[in-house]
Chain A
Amino acid sequence: MGPGVDLGLPLQLLINGLVLGVLYALIAMGLALIFGVLEIVNFAHGELYMLGAVAAYFLTTSLSVGYWGTIALTTAGAVGLGALFYEGLLAFIAGRGFERSILLTLGVSMVLQNGALYVLTATPRMETTPYSYRSVILGDVSIPLLRVFALGLALLAFAALYVLLHHTRMGQAIRGVAQNRAAALMVGIDTHAVSRLAVAIGVGLSGLAGAALAPVYSVHPTMGVAFVFKAFAIVIIGGLGNLPGCAVAAILLGLLESVVGGFFSPTLVDSLGFLAMIMLLLFKPEGLFGRGVRL
């Protein structure tokens, strides 16, 4: 490789991979939750991430809201948008066919993405924060500070989600509907409210990811495209509707991409997720952890 390879390289790659994986998980979890509860494949998920980033950009740049304030506001806004998204659109097609949901959300994605392109143009924008150039250094490993924040926020979100799902009645209702919609109805669960909450949370996670990553990457209308299809692959690899499986799959993908990118070539990295998904679908279609595409 080159002069002086040290143990720092594998360690750095590992850390990079973990951070990347957790960020992927943040976006993929929302997708998994929506699918689990509504059986809808949300093609517009990437655009919702993008909207979060755009909102964060404008809050920070035009309205001079601080980093943490931006995160809070954007996440809250995304949750609200999610509820609206459900009431206004998804409610009408929930449970009415796989293809219909794909096509509807694809349409939403087209409107959002091209609307943003039209209004904002394709020119990328940089969000600058006071934390932008600082990094955390641990021996040979360095992690940009903003990524550490994003990591922390993601873990916080996962913890909150876990508590919600396993220690509240609403969470129990969500899990019930995800398990068996008809049975949940029979037991008296308000599936409409549960679905709305699930979408709100799912979109909220996406918006949070957008706000956390806006200062890390550049903000532009097609920034969600790369993420959404990877998220899609992650959800299938983890097992459709299987939240913990999705998180594990996301981290595994992050690690894989980081290692391949570091030891081989960064240009191979993007195809890994899809190759993995295709391989899995051919040999273990229910996903690594169960509940696959056998509908």
Chain B
Amino acid sequence: MRAAWRWSAILGAVGVSATFPLWAGSPYGLELGISVALFAVLSTGLNLVYGYTGLLSFAQVAYFGIAGYTSALLWTNFEFPMLAGALMGGLLAALLGLLIGYASLRLSRHAFAIVSLSLALLCQIVSRDWVSLTRGPMGIPGLSAPTVAFAGIGQVSFDRPAAFYYLMLSYAILVLALLYRLVHSRIGRAFLAMKLNQPLAESQGIDPLGYRLLAISISAAVTGIAGGLYVFHLTIVDPSIFDFYYTEAMLIMVIIGGPGSFWGVLAASLAFSMIPDLLRFSTDLRMIFYGIVLVTAMLAFPRGLGGLLPARIAVPWRCRAQA
């Protein structure tokens, strides 16, 4: 019975989001839709590495931005198609994640948190200062998404917001489906085991470093590819792509949704992408709002929404290991 509920809810959500441009197709609405799809991917990526594997990571924005720059540079200098560039960006991000993960996880999870933060800061500084490569604060403007011929529909230019929305939506659904399968598989259970009780997990033969690196690289790759695509919607990439704003938004979504809760984080990412926009919050107000939410959450309910609601209703929303 519960499975049927869940499936109809999912199908409903997919249906709503697929027809979104028809009933809310203003440029403003589409922008919102693209943002929602983007953050669904970003927050679930962070959820994978923080919620399921227990590694607080500030590096997500670094992967996002590096892949964005990679994609932009490949397109500008070598005429790489957008998708290929984004994939390369995701690959580079994954490699970077592996590097810092391997280097710092030998020490502790806390070292990883700090190194991940430094990576994000360093990326912003380097993108700003290495002018000969990245053009520094001047950015790389003029990025243009491709025009593709689809059988039956004709030419579709992904520069148009509606088309780009479908692109982001498809990518988001793909990533979410993939990650869902991952966390409900043996690998996912290994992640949880390590997060909850590392020595016990080790005694069961689970190699923490290997699994953690896996989580990091997958999370980095999906975040990176999202960045590699998104810069084509922005038409420009500059050091502001590494802004702390993205990190803070992702953290809010994961923490409120409940680290380790797949649907909780997804719901939170939906809410937190949309609510500040709907309330016509300026960026500053939005960030104040996030900050207050974060402080309140840390004081009152560090386990997220899933930890607040009573057991019967909360089970699907909680971290699987807490249910």
Contact = CB atoms under 8 A, between A and B. Distances in A.
Contact of B298 (A107, A110, A117): A107
Given A103-B251, A107-B292, A110-B288, A236 B299 contact: no
A280 to B, nearest CB: 11
A197 to B, nearest CB: 22
B254 to A, nearest CB: 10
Nearest to B247: A106
Given A89-B295, A118-B288, A295-B110, A274 B302 contact: no
20 contacts: A100-B302, A102-B56, A102-B113, A103-B251, A104-B294, A104-B295, A104-B299, A107-B297, A111-B288, A112-B291, A118-B282, A232-B117, A233-B118, A271-B122, A275-B122, A278-B118, A281-B103, A281-B104, A281-B107, A281-B111
Nearest to B293: A107
A100 B259 CA distance: 13
Nearest to A119: B284
B294 A117 contact: no
A293 B291 contact: no
The B interface is mostly helix, strand or loop, or mixed, namely: helix
A293 B295 contact: no
A248 B103 CA distance: 26
The A interface is mostly helix, strand or loop, or mixed, namely: helix
B292 A118 contact: no
Interface of A: 89, 92-93, 98-100, 102-104, 106-115, 117-118, 229, 232-233, 236, 267-268, 270-271, 274-275, 277-278, 281-282, 285, 293-295
Given A107-B298, A114-B287, A293-B114, 14 more contacts: A93-B299, A99-B56, A99-B113, A104-B298, A106-B248, A106-B294, A107-B290, A111-B295, A112-B291, A114-B285, A232-B114, A270-B129, A274-B118, A281-B111
Nearest to A113: B287
Contacts of B119: 278
A113 B284 CA distance: 9
A229 B125 CA distance: 12
A274 B108 contact: no
Contact of A268 (B129, B284, B292): B129
A295 B283 CA distance: 36
A274 B56 contact: no
Contact of A117 (B107, B111, B284): B284
Given A92-B299, A274-B125, A293 B284 contact: no
A249 B132 CA distance: 31
Contacts of A271: 122, 125-126, 129
Interface in B244-276: 248, 251, 255
A20 to B, nearest CB: 17
B115 interface: yes
B242 to A, nearest CB: 12
B137 to A, nearest CB: 11
Contacts of A92: 299
A229 B121 contact: yes
A62 B103 CA distance: 51
B291 A108 contact: yes
A229 B117 CA distance: 9
Interface in B219-264: 248, 251, 255
Contacts of B114: 232, 236, 277, 281, 293
Contact of B251 (A106, A281, A282): A106
Contacts of A108: 291, 295
A111 B287 CA distance: 7
B107 A294 contact: yes
